[in-house]
């Protein structure tokens, strides 16, 4: 895996901006995208920088781009996902970023922006969701054969049902990976009977940015997030 340029910005409720950059972002590995030392004087975690601002920093909008694909990007806070960030590429796929988050989040010292930047050929698909409770989570899977593929938590490997049982998913977006010729369905959130309760079409982050879209899915223990490919 190579190192790539990865950069972006977070926008706060008071209008403050946190510039982010990592010119040695490791592809295929979840890696931190810290503050851009060219603009804030030092490289540090986004939450640590934001906590030093007058009045603190409440994240309301953001965007991260990298040279190739991004599967997902989130704010890591004490080992959990505090918020998921819209993503794109540094070519054509970042034109509408930063983009609003459905539920603002206050950043605190130590909160990190964690980005999964992949090669152009990587097939990893990412699903980012937001719930009416204000919770966020990210799920992913890398298809290796034709058929149905289930997205699982990037933290625990558990299903969406096991992860978010009892929550109502209100917003989502999907990153497509290198699967443009292979998808034969959107990403569906299925109930315990296998019936679709929400659909989210994938975005090719090399040509378009991923922003939050409204969905409406009640999550039960047996809910799954799946899609199909023909290769």
User: Do 97 and 74 meet the contact criterion of CB atoms below 8 Å apart?
Assistant: no
Residue 39: pLDDT band (50, 70, 90) is very high
User: Do 146 and 229 meet the contact criterion of CB atoms below 8 Å apart?
Assistant: yes
Q: Whole-prediction pTM value? A: 0.96
Q: Decide if pLDDT at 215 tops 80.
A: yes
Bridge partner residues of 173 (DSSP): 128
Query: What per-residue string of b and e applies to 106-116 under the rule 16 or more CB within 10 Å gives b?
Result: bbeeebbbbbb
Q: What are 77-100's pLDDT values in tens digits?
A: 999 999 999 999 876 656 789 999
Residue with tokens 């640590």: 48
Using CA atoms, how far apart are residues 65 and 86, in angstroms rounded to an integer?
9
Q: Which long-range contacts (CB under 8 A, 24 or more apart) does 152-157 make?
A: 154/30, 154/72, 154/74, 154/116, 154/126, 155/79, 155/80, 155/81
186 phi and psi, to 5 degrees? -70, 180
């Amino acid at each position: 895996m190579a190192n790539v340029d990865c950069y972006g910005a977070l926008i706060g409720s008071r209008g403050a901006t946190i510039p982010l950059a990592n010119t040695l972002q490791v592809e295929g590995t979840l890696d931190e995208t810290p503050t851009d030392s060219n603009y804030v004087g030092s490289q540090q975690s986004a939450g640590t920088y934001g906590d030093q601002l007058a009045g603190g920093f409440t994240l309301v909008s953001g965007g991260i781009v990298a040279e190739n694909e991004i599967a997902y990007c989130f704010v890591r806070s004490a080992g959990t996902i505090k918020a998921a960030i819209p993503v794109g590429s540094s070519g054509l796929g970042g034109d509408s970023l930063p983009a609003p988050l459905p539920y603002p989040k206050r950043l605190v010292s130590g909160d990190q922006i964690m980005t999964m930047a992949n090669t152009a050929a990587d097939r990893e698909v990412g699903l980012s969701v937001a719930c009416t409770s204000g919770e966020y989570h990210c799920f992913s899977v890398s298809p290796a054969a034709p058929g149905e593929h289930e997205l699982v938590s990037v933290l625990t490997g558990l299903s969406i049902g096991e992860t978010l049982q009892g929550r109502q998913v209100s917003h989502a977006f999907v990153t497509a990976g290198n699967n443009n010729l292979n998808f034969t369905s959107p990403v569906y959130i299925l109930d315990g009977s296998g019936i679709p309760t929400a659909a989210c079409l994938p975005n090719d982050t090399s040509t378009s940015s991923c922003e939050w879209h409204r969905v409406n899915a009640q999550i039960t223990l047996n809910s799954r997030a799946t899609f199909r490919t023909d290769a």
